[in-house]
């Protein structure tokens, strides 16, 4: 059996193949109540219907003051649970494992939404952030744990903690944003403590069968330090590492000569070298053709390939990888049309409709 179509079991959950959909935020689709819209439900239903092994719903706020913007979806109160059930039911009907990404924006919070706070007081694009006290850290950890419990009630197979892309968990890991000298700063283990304690808390309230993933950073400040941080996550009970970029630029050396992918994708490959056989590892970024997916999987460079733009451009992309069927390739626009403040539609989506 080709590796791309080989099943993978993660904490008892069977992925029917190695193709996974990455979380990508749909700006402007929700209302200020943080409740999913019908448009969200249809978006994920359509992508689940084309057979990824796993689908991860976009970054979801664990606290109202930790949102990207007023139309950012959340799981910070019980009224937000019911609509998520429509997504999980659609995924399970297609035998697709379904996770949801949990996030808090931390020191990059929009000041119109909430106060920018983080592990340390540092300069951000909106001014100086405020350092969190230890009781405030514990309250934010409880917010993540509470959101995970709501996700379980909504039918999700597990959660993904958003530990990269400059948000709160990433801010604790990165030495340039975490200047603390207490138990949450300094060593790799201490900088990982914020998320590790969240993992343990989720395991306690959601049970042994709940899948816990971390979308972890591979370059803050360097690859070896980030691998050390990920080891702490695994010791805490993380089942799955999905590797991406963070605040710092990945080292050039992370990409070996003649490797046919970019530095961010290479982070996942390097993590897989370390965690092979212990914890499944995914890679992501710049993967927009079936041949790229097959290369990564057939050469055993990662356990799963996480796809963003490819499945936004065409939900049929997983079938193109698995069966060689037709699809519309992502145009690799400099700014993705699914991103914020974009008023024009995805050109690949338009092409599919013709």
Express each pLDDT in 299-353 by its tens digit. Answer: 999 999 999 999 999 999 999 999 999 999 999 999 998 988 787 899 999 999 8
DSSP annotation of 335 reads: S
Give residue-wise pLDDT tens across range 140-159: 999 999 999 999 999 999 99
* Other Cβ atoms within 10 Å of 13 Cβ, number: 19
Average pLDDT over every residue of 116-129: 94
* pLDDT for res 38: 98
Which of 157, 152, 212 minimizes the C-alpha distance to 15?
Answer: 157
Average pLDDT over every residue of 234-258: 96
CA-CA distance, 312 to 342, in Å (whole number)?
15
Q: Are 71 and 338 in contact (CB under 8 A)?
A: no
> Tokens 């996974």 identify what position?
20
Q: Are 103 and 162 in contact (CB under 8 A)?
A: yes
pTM value is: 0.97
* pLDDT for res 221: 83
Distance of CA 15 to the CA centre of its chain: 17
* Other Cβ atoms within 10 Å of 223 Cβ, number: 19
* pLDDT for res 1: 56
* pLDDT for res 2: 72
User: Is it the case that residue 83 has pLDDT exceeding 60?
Assistant: yes
Domain ranges of the chain: 3-310
DSSP annotation of 243 reads: E
CA-CA distance, 292 to 287, in Å (whole number)?
6
* pLDDT for res 344: 84
Please state whether the peptide bond connecting residue 221 to the residue before it is cis, i.e. omega within 30 degrees of 0.
Answer: yes
**Which residues are known catalytic residues?**
167
Domain covering 3-310 assigned CATH 3.90.79.10 in the classification: no
Average pLDDT over every residue of 263-272: 98
């Amino acid at each position: 059996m080709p590796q791309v179509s080989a099943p993978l079991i993660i904490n008892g959950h069977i992925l029917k193949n190695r193709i996974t959909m990455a979380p990508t935020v749909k700006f402007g689709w929700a209302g200020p109540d943080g409740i999913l819209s019908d448009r969200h439900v249809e978006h994920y239903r359509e992508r689940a219907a084309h057979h990824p092994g796993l689908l991860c719903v976009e970054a979801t706020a664990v606290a109202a003051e930790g949102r990207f913007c007023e139309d950012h979806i959340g799981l910070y109160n019980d009224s937000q649970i019911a609509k998520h059930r429509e997504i999980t039911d659609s995924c399970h009907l297609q035998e697709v494992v379904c996770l949801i990404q949990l996030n808090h924006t931390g020191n990059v919070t929009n000041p119109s939404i909430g106060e920018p706070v983080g592990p340390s007081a540092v300069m951000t694009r909106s001014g100086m952030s405020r350092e969190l006290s230890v009781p405030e850290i514990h309250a934010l950890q409880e917010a993540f744990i509470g959101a995970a419990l709501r996700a379980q009630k909504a039918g999700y197979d597990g959660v993904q903690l958003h530990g990269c892309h400059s948000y709160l968990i990433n801010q604790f890991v990165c030495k340039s944003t975490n200047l603390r000298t207490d138990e949450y700063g300094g060593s790799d283990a201490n900088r990982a403590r914020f998320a590790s304690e969240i993992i343990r808390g989720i395991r306690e309230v959601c049970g042994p069968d709940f899948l816990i993933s971390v979308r972890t950073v591979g370059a803050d400040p360097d690859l070896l330090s980030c691998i050390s941080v990920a080891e702490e996550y695994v010791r805490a009970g993380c089942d799955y590492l999905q590797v991406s970029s963070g605040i710092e630029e990945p080292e050039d050396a992370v990409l070996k000569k003649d490797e046919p992918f970019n530095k961010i994708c290479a982070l996942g490959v390097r993590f897989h070298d370390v965690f092979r056989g212990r914890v499944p590892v995914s890679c992501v970024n710049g993967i927009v053709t079936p041949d790229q997916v097959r290369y990564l999987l057939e050469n055993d460079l990662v356990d799963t390939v996480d796809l963003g733009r490819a499945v936004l451009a065409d939900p049929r992309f997983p079938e193109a990888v698995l069966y060689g069927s037709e699809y519309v390739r992502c145009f690799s626009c400099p700014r993705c049309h699914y991103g914020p403040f974009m008023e024009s539609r995805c050109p690949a989506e338009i092409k599919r409709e013709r």
